[in-house]
Amino acid sequence: MFIYHTIAEIREYVREARSKGHVIGLAPTMGYLHEGHLELMRRAKERCDTVIVSIFVNPTQFGPGEDLDRYPRDLERDARLAEEVGVDAIFNPSAGEMYPAGYCTYVDVEGVTSILCGMSRPGHFRGVTTVVIKLFNIVKPDAAFFGQKDAQQALVIKRMTADLNLDLEVITLPTVREADGLAMSSRNIYLDPVQREAALVLNRSLLKGREAFLAGERDPSKIINLVAGMIRGEALAEIDYVEIYSHPDLQAVARIRGPALLAMAVKIGRTRLIDNILLEV
Amino acid sequence: MFIYHTIAEIREYVREARSKGHVIGLAPTMGYLHEGHLELMRRAKERCDTVIVSIFVNPTQFGPGEDLDRYPRDLERDARLAEEVGVDAIFNPSAGEMYPAGYCTYVDVEGVTSILCGMSRPGHFRGVTTVVIKLFNIVKPDAAFFGQKDAQQALVIKRMTADLNLDLEVITLPTVREADGLAMSSRNIYLDPVQREAALVLNRSLLKGREAFLAGERDPSKIINLVAGMIRGEALAEIDYVEIYSHPDLQAVARIRGPALLAMAVKIGRTRLIDNILLEV
């Protein structure tokens, strides 16, 4: 497996793979890989001849006061894990390589970025779409792989890809969870054992919400109240948002009539965790 | 020569040209072609095997109250002219093909879009960069051709291309002028004979400005005053802006120490015309 730090190197690598007729897959990550990432890579490997993983803690998607500086990083460990699942190359640029002096171009997806995480993290999705289009343009993959844990991110990227006529397939893969239900996240490392236990309320309350939905409840506010009430019962948890939107178009709904996304962001201590579940019959 | 109206058709055409190993050139236009456009196409034809011209009056780059509705259109004439200079295909999509229902993604180049035409036409460059990245992604040209008459546009597109790692060359070609010096523009059709005569003040005053520069003047405000004074002497002309910025980075300068762009927008009746000249020794 190769590790490249410059755009010129990864471009040359892709050019060579392409010249052999390879189908190219890209999994964009911020590193500190967990089983959720590795599952993306395995699925990518099934569909593509050459799989490239980008590892880049993208500064433009972090707001002031967020965890950019303490975001966990371990390239050596990441490289070992990626190689084990058959990744062909890692692209690990510096911030200066991606955003050289004078950089001033940004991509905005409007509408669907103003709700959910876009509301709590203004500018976050602008940073995400900007770095993702750059990665797409650098690697020119046939397919790119994202996790359903970041449901809104995946939908925003699909929207951008369609709107800007990018010629690739965006594939979303199911959330991978720990045995006890906690959604895999690089940020789980921030949790101490007591917080780790408290964090189970995210998945538990999502399941409770889906249970109500499957029992026939179609009023989003009733499901939200049920879920939020359960989270409030956990002393260490502080709700950022619990919301239901139609899926995949992320529109507010007065009643659930088609597939819907029950999504939440909850702070456990200083750690902000997100999770979601699809409501569909 | 082929004329395509859908993204699927032009993509298929490009795929075939690409499979023959062709180098592909794109000249994005809003149609109503004049000699300036045709010169872009001739130069494109010299450098590329397949030359595609897009003809699309892009609604997102027009502001409220601007001339979107009356912008001149004549596809039949355009097709004849393009074919004469050896263009291989025209891409002429509808607004709905480019911006289908639900469209919500935009590209912003900051900084260099807030001055000059960006000041008088807020949102204009956002529309330009958005449609141009779409055209780039649809056609995937090796080179794209723009005119120096729209100097700021060309610089904004170069900035976007570099920042977003688009893999193509952006080529700017000199302004083409009528025999009497008026810069070619589709909007010249709006001018009646008296206005047409008055419009010569743009080029005349630019030449006057360069004359002062070549005679040693390096104070931008002195050159601007000279040029603006000359334009004010023309009763039918109303200045939108006359400015000098460094070239190509478009920074304000207290003294001219390197290449600089003397640029202007002037209204002759209802018609807003732009022109510019490079100041360099």
- Answer whether A137 sits within 8 Å of B102, measured CB to CB: no
Q: What is the DSSP string of chain B?
A: -EEE-SHHHHHHHHHHHHHTT--EEEEEE-SS--HHHHHHHHHHHHH-SEEEEEE---GGGPPTTSSTTTS---HHHHHHHHHHTT--EEE---HHHHS-TT--EEEEE-STTSSTHHHHSTTHHHHHHHHHHHHHHHH--SEEEEEGGGHHHHHHHHHHHHHTT--SEEEEEPPPB-TTSPBP-GGGGG--HHHHHHTHHHHHHHHHHHHHHHTT---HHHHHHHHHHHHHTSTTEEEEEEEEEETTT--B-SS--S-EEEEEEEEETTEEEEEEEEE--
The C-alpha angle B199, B202, B206, rounded to 5 degrees, equals 160
Neighbours of A72 (CB within 10 A): 15
- Chain A residue numbers with beta carbons less than 8 Å from the beta carbon of B103 are 163
Give the model's pLDDT for residue B76: 98
Chain A nearest CA to B152, separation (Å)? 15
| Whether residue B126 sits in one domain with residue B149 | yes
* pLDDT < 70: residue spans in chain A: none
Examine the domain organization and report whether B82 and B217 are in the same domain. Answer: no
Chain B: residues touching A (Cβ < 8 Å): 7, 11, 102-112, 129-130, 133-134, 137-138, 140, 159-160, 163-167, 249
Contact between B107 and A104 using a beta-carbon 8 Å cutoff = no
The reply to whether B22 and B73 lie within a common domain is yes
Q: Are residues A150 and A233 in the same domain?
A: no
pTM score, whole prediction: 0.96
Contacts with A138 (C-beta within 8 Å, 6 or more apart), sequence order: A7, A10, A11, A91, B165
In a domain, A281, yes or no: no
pLDDT at B181: 98
> Radius of gyration of chain B from Cα atoms?
19
Residuewise pLDDT in 10s, chain B (281 residues): 999 999 999 999 999 999 999 999 999 999 999 999 999 999 999 999 999 999 999 999 999 999 999 999 999 999 999 999 999 999 999 999 999 999 999 999 998 999 999 999 999 999 999 999 999 999 999 999 999 999 999 999 999 999 999 999 999 999 999 999 999 999 999 999 999 999 999 999 999 999 999 999 999 999 999 999 999 999 999 999 999 999 999 999 999 999 999 999 999 999 999 999 999 99
Whether residues A169 and A190 share a domain: the answer is no
Q: Could you give phi then psi for residue A146, rounded to 5 degrees?
A: -130, 160
Interface contact A133-B104, CB threshold 8 A: no
Q: B137 and A110: CB-CB below 8 Å?
A: no
Is there a single domain that holds both residue A101 and residue A14? Answer: yes
Total domains in chain B come to 2
Are A134 and B165 a contacting pair at CB < 8 A? yes
Please answer yes or no on whether B137 and A165 come within 8 Å at the CB atom: yes
The reply to whether A196 and A169 lie within a common domain is no
Q: What burial class does residue A183 get, using C-beta atoms within 10 Å of its C-beta: 0-12 exposed, 13-18 middle, 19+ buried?
A: buried
Four-CA torsion A91, A93, A98, A102, nearest 10 degrees: -160
Find the domain containing A103 and state its range.
Answer: 2-173
**Distance (Å, rounded) from C-alpha A218 to C-alpha B231?**
68
Other C-beta atoms within 10 Å of A163: how many?
A: 22
Nearest-neighbour CA in chain A from B249: distance (Å): 9
A138 contact residues in B (CB cutoff 8 A)? 165
Q: What confidence tens digit (pLDDT) does each residue in A182-195 have?
A: 999 999 999 999 99
- Residue pair A243/A116 in contact by the 8 Å Cβ criterion: yes
Q: Is residue A26 part of a domain?
A: yes
Contact A163 B11 (CB under 8 A): no
Residue positions of A annotated with a catalytic role: 37
The CATH number of whichever domain residue B239 belongs to comes to 3.30.1300.10
The CA distances from residue A61 to A118, A216, A240, B98, B172, in Å, are: 11, 38, 18, 28, 33
- DSSP assignment of A40-59, as one string? HHHHHHHH-SEEEEEE---G
Inspect the interface and report whether the beta carbons of B103 and A249 lie closer than 8 Å.
Answer: no
Residues in A touching B129 (Cβ below 8 Å): 105
Of A123, A146, A173, which marks where a domain is finished?
Answer: A173
Is residue B72 domain-shared with residue B164, that is, in the same domain? yes
In chain B, which residue's Cα lies nearest the Cα of A164?
A: B134
Nearest Cβ partner of A104 from B140, B163, B166? Answer: B163
pLDDT of res. B259: 98
B116 and B29 Cβ atoms separated by less than 8 Å: no
Residues of B with catalytic roles: 37
Final residue belonging to a domain, choices A148, A173, A198: A173
Residue A126 confidence (pLDDT) = 97
b/e burial code for range B164-179 (CB count within 10 A of at least 16 → b) = bbbebebbbbebbebe
Residue A200 lies in a domain: yes
**Residue type at position A252:** A
- Which chain A positions have a beta carbon within 8 Å of B160's beta carbon? 105
CA distance A153 to chain B (A): 14
User: What was the pLDDT predicted at A86?
Assistant: 98
Q: How far is CA A260 from CA A220, A246, A252, A276, in A?
A: 9, 4, 10, 10
Q: Is the residue at B179 inside a domain?
A: no
- Which of A173, A208, A232 delimits the end of a domain? A173
Amino acid occupying residue A49: D
CATH number at residue B151: 3.40.50.620
- Contacts of residue B102 in chain A, CB cutoff 8 Å? 249
Q: Which residues of chain A are within 8 Å of residue B249 when distances are taken between CB atoms?
A: 102
CA distance A221 to A212: 12
